Structure 1
Amino acid sequence: MKAKVGMEVSWHLRMLLFISFASSFLNVSYAQTNNDYDTPAAPPPGLSNCNGVFLTYSFTSRDKEYPHIKNATAQAWAFKSSATIVNTGEYEVKAWQMFVGFQHKETLVSATGATIVDSDDFPVDASNGTTFAGGSQADLKTSIETAGDFTQISAQIDITGTQFGVKPPGVPMPSIIKLVNNGYKCPKATMRGSYNY
């Protein structure tokens, strides 16, 4: 009788091990087929056609700020956006600087990934535009010398601030974005949805 109990425990133990093994296998299989984390973001439109320095500005979001007022042009909106600079050319870009022509009475409260040339501290009145410069990544190497390492050939600036007068569904885009560095000639920026490039 004791032998029978031992066999039952052994059978239960085997079944438990099988279920544990099967569930861990299923989790591994799920992780391998779930590509949400492995899929890189799509490159900005026009990047593949650029042979120089590619700039983008992307409006991300906005929230109505206090005080809430009926006059749309005087209503303040907290906004988030990002600007990107990518070296797609043959030569390293030394000490890059990017001008963003803000035009909606913007006040910037933070900009991670770059420093602001026009000011020493936040908040920054950027209503007439402002110039960003590379902070920890002042130079952008080439794809040739880095085997296409995007972290060395590009920089992203995450911007938070306040803007006025453009209520949804309008998109508060800058009037211009351009590379300030000497020796580069930028064509007029193209706007597509919430992208400016």
Structure 2
Amino acid sequence: MKARLRLGVPWHLVTLMLLSLPSINFNVCHGQTDDYESPAAPPPGLDECNGIFLTYSFTSREKEYPKVKNASAQAWAFKSLATITNTGEHELKGWQMFVGFQHKEVLVSASGAIVVDGDDFPVAVGNGTIFAGNPQVDLKTAIETAGDFTQIAAQIEIAGSVFGIKPPGVPMPKNIKLVNDGYKCPKSTLRGNNPHVLMV
């Protein structure tokens, strides 16, 4: 005996009707896999770090209004990504990261963090600023999380405006560093020949 709805419509007709409706979208989510043999590659330089690893990556820019002839007065909308990863043996409590902005940047958002020395967005940060974790305030160790990047690392998705650096120039900060007491950061460097990534 075939399964039927209460209205007496066979299941295979219901399925056919649902699939024929053009306004319904079906999305498949694969989620996490157990592919331990080919895990995602870590950020370059991460494997050489046994402490706190910081990066700042410039990702995009486009010309903003008003469009002016004076290149130094032209504003550009930009996006970048800053990361902080605990690769050490001790949990990092209340992490704070300094980004040495230097091109009259005005931030309009920073998801994953708050600006410590600013009130609300938009905020001028042309002399650099300090980000603090929000909502992820502390970074646990790989040892106590079995290498779970969602607990040992944080990302700051930054959007804002920058002035005077037209392509092909790249408006990078002059430096990045960890502000927390008890850590001494080496000088930040560009990754190889890539002018878009700064790391410590």
Q: Partner of 2:127 in structure 1?
A: 128
- Cα 1:69–1:45 change in 2 (3 A) is same
Q: Size of the alignment, in residue pairs?
A: 160
Q: Deviations over 1:70-128 (max 9, x none)?
A: 21111100000010000000000000000000000000000000111011210011000
Q: Partner of 1:15 in structure 2?
A: none
Q: Given the two structures, how large is their TM-score scaled by the length of structure 1?
A: 0.79
Across the aligned residues of Structure 1 and Structure 2, the Cα RMSD in angstroms comes to: 1.4
Q: Secondary structure at the match of 1:144?
A: helix
| Mapping of residues 68-147 of structure 1, within 5 Å | 68-147=67-146
- Cα 1:186–1:70 change in 2 (3 A) is same
Amino acid at match of 2:110: A
Q: Deviations over 1:119-150 (max 9, x none)?
A: 12100110000000011110000000000000
Q: Partner of 1:43 in structure 2?
A: 42
Task: Kindly name which structure, 1 or 2, has the bigger radius of gyration based on alpha carbons.
Answer: 1
C-alpha separation in 2, matches of 1:91 and 1:152? 13
Q: Partner of 1:9 in structure 2?
A: none
Q: Partner of 2:168 in structure 1?
A: 169
Q: Secondary structure at the match of 1:48?
A: helix
Q: Deviations over 1:2-48 (max 9, x none)?
A: xxxxxxxxxxxxxxxxxxxxxxxxxxxxx9xxxxxxx8764322111
Runs of 4+ residues deviating >6 angstroms: none
Q: Partner of 2:198 in structure 1?
A: 196
Amino acid at match of 1:171: V
C-alpha separation in 2, matches of 1:65 and 1:174? 20
Deviation at 1:184, TM superposition (A): 0.2
Q: Partner of 2:179 in structure 1?
A: 180
C-alpha separation in 2, matches of 1:40 and 1:126? 37
Amino acid at match of 1:168: P
C-alpha separation in 2, matches of 1:187 and 1:42? 24
C-alpha separation in 1, matches of 2:76 and 2:124? 15
Higher normalized helix content (fraction of residues): 1
C-alpha separation in 1, matches of 2:80 and 2:41? 17
Amino acid at match of 1:138: V
Unaligned runs of 5+ in 1: 1-30, 32-38
Q: Partner of 1:28 in structure 2?
A: none
